[in-house]
Amino acid sequence: MTQQVSVQSMTTFLVIWIGQFVSLIGSGLTGFALGVWIFLTTGSVTQFTLIALSAAVPGILASPFAGALVDRWDRRWVMILSDCGAGLCTLVIAVLLYTQRLAVWHIYITIGLSSVLSTFQWPAYVAATTLLVPKRHLTRASGMVQTGQAISRILSPIIAGILIVAIDVWGVLIIDFVTFLFAVTTLLATRIPSPVTSSEGEEAGGSLLHEAAFGWRYIRARVGLLALLLFFAGANFSFAFFTVLFTPMILSFASPAVLGSVESVGGVGMLLGGFALSTWGGPKKRVYGVVGFGFVLGAAVIMSGVRPDPVLIAAANFVGFFTLPIINGCSQAIWQVKTPPDVQGRVFSVRSMIAWSTTPLSYLLAGPLADQVFEPMMAPGGMLAANLGQVIGTGPGRGIGLMFIILGAVMMIVSFVSIMYSRLRHVEDELPDMVQEDV
């Protein structure tokens, strides 16, 4: 059974999108401020990467059960409660920082709790979008979401850098808390329809454990979707190294202001990529948008590691982040169209768990590999300083640069191998659509 969508519900989606966008700006302020605070306070790449690990693991473990509960509950209230909980976590960190009691382990715990709450919020948001946005506009809606993330990436570092000086880090966190309240207000002002029960939904019913396992059964039975998922698992493994080591690499030879500027340039690229997807709608075969731009992303990661040059890295960041909205938006639309709306919580949560299951390993390895292996090898007099050092330079941050070159090459190989697999190339033709066009 397919789900019909009303054109008028697009207005509801826009209201919800605005609320989530404002909240995203606030979260971007917090992420930048805390990242700088942690690295400058500890001086340790390993402790910095453990923040990312604490954000990833709890959410991955909770994903299957969160998805089953999202499909059982009202998706609007799932989003409301998730935003409220995440806002409270931010408020706790702000109070601890204001009273000068904040320790790094406090951040580990609160970010872990926020990760679990996000595990409920994200599938509810995506599944609600399927119910609110006409089928032909799903890729554009994904582009809008990516555009919001891009604007956050542009504005948050700049605003956070100013606010840290003006009102300190705890003041930035208070602003983030207020943006959560705004998001909750928009959700309270809207209504999200309930999905029609499909044959897959009837099959998925039963105990919570049975419902949680259904997402994996659904994906495993559709080889093309499984291949698409494995592509993301491989690409995320490499890109997670890049995201978590980017800040330490820049700060190894430049100031936080330069870091903010470089990140903002990446945000501009992401903004234009999201805008392009929103207006263009993506390629006719969305899977080419996923894998083709994944190849370009790998090349951009390589370019970011070649030299400790802020201009070159900013250009690479622009290209790399331009590809992200297209990769994610095209993939999101494929999953939304090929999955019945009433089981999307379960399927998307398992999809998220598997796609991001490789990132904790990246976070665990990134710090020790950078601190103990690659950085010493690329230090003056290090093992590789006499040969590779002549090409990419030596000194602080050059070991991370070498890691970026290797990781980018891996991403390009994963993209090439994936597109050569016929079941992935033809996934959109082989599987039936589960969402009808708007009425």
Q: How much of the chain exceeds pLDDT 90, in percent?
A: 10
* pLDDT tens track for 243-265: 888 888 888 888 777 887 888 78
* pLDDT tens track for 304-341: 988 888 899 999 999 998 998 899 888 888 888 888 87
Mean pLDDT over 44-72 rounds to 72
* pLDDT tens track for 214-236: 888 888 888 899 999 899 888 88
pLDDT on residue 199: 62
pLDDT on residue 362: 83
Burial 248-284 (b: 16+ CB within 10 A, else e): bbbbbbbebeebbbbbbbbbbbbbbbbbbbbeebbee
Query: What residues pair up with 14 in beta bridges, in sequence order?
Result: none
What are the domain boundaries of the chain? 9-186+208-429
* pLDDT tens track for 110-123: 878 887 888 787 77
* pLDDT tens track for 333-386: 888 888 887 777 778 878 888 887 887 788 778 878 888 888 888 888 888 888
Mean pLDDT over 145-159 rounds to 74
Dihedrals φ, ψ of 151, to 5°?
Answer: -60, -40
Rounded to the nearest integer, the mean pLDDT of the chain is 80
Span 9-186+208-429: which CATH code? Answer: 1.20.1250.20
